[in-house]
Chains A and B, each alone.
Chain A
Amino acid sequence: MNLLSALALGLGALFWLWGTAPLLGRAALLVKLHSLTVADTLGSALILLGLLLRGPRQWPLLLLALAMLLIWNALLGYVLAAQPPLPPGRREP
Chain B
Amino acid sequence: MTTPIPPLPAALPVLLLTTALRLTLWCLLTSDLSPLNLGLGLAVALLLPHRRRTLPLGAFLAALGQALVAIPQAYGEAFRLMLARQPLNGLVREPSQAEGSDLVIALEIFRLSVTPFTLVLGLESDGRHYRVHRRRPGPTQRGKGGRQR
Chain A residues proximal to chain B, CB less than 8 Å: 15, 18, 30-31, 33-35, 37-38, 41-42, 45, 60-61, 63-64, 67, 70-71, 73-75, 77-78, 81-86, 92
In the assembled complex, the Cα of A74 lies from the Cα of B71 at a distance in Å of 11
The 7 nearest A-B residue pairs measured at CB = A60-B31, A74-B113, A64-B28, A74-B110, A34-B135, A38-B78, A37-B116
Question: Chain B residues near A82 (CB, 8 Å)?
Answer: 120-122
8 more A-B contacts (CB under 8 A) besides A37-B113, A38-B78, A74-B109?
A34-B116, A37-B78, A42-B78, A45-B71, A61-B28, A70-B71, A81-B121, A92-B89
Question: Chain A residues near B113 (CB, 8 Å)?
Answer: 37, 73-75, 77-78, 81
Instruction: Give the Cβ gap from A31 to chain B, nearest Cβ, in Å.
Output: 7
A37–B106 contact, CB under 8 A? no
A18–B110 contact, CB under 8 A? no
Partner of A85, one of B28, B120, B122: B122
B17 CB-CB contact with A under 8 Å:
no
In the assembled complex, the Cα of A81 lies from the Cα of B117 at a distance in Å of 13
In the assembled complex, the Cα of A73 lies from the Cα of B119 at a distance in Å of 12
Cβ-closest chain A residue relative to B71: A70
Question: Chain A residues near B115 (CB, 8 Å)?
Answer: 37
Instruction: Give the Cβ gap from A26 to chain B, nearest Cβ, in Å.
Output: 15
Cβ-closest chain B residue relative to A11: B75
B119–A30 contact, CB under 8 A? yes
B74 CB-CB contact with A under 8 Å:
yes
Cβ-closest chain B residue relative to A43: B78
- 10 A-B pairs (CB sep. < 8 Å): A30-B89, A34-B81, A37-B113, A37-B119, A60-B28, A61-B31, A74-B113, A75-B110, A85-B125, A92-B91
Question: Chain A residues near B75 (CB, 8 Å)?
Answer: 42
Partner of B116, one of A42, A61, A71, A86: A42
Cβ-closest chain B residue relative to A45: B71
In the assembled complex, the Cα of A19 lies from the Cα of B90 at a distance in Å of 20
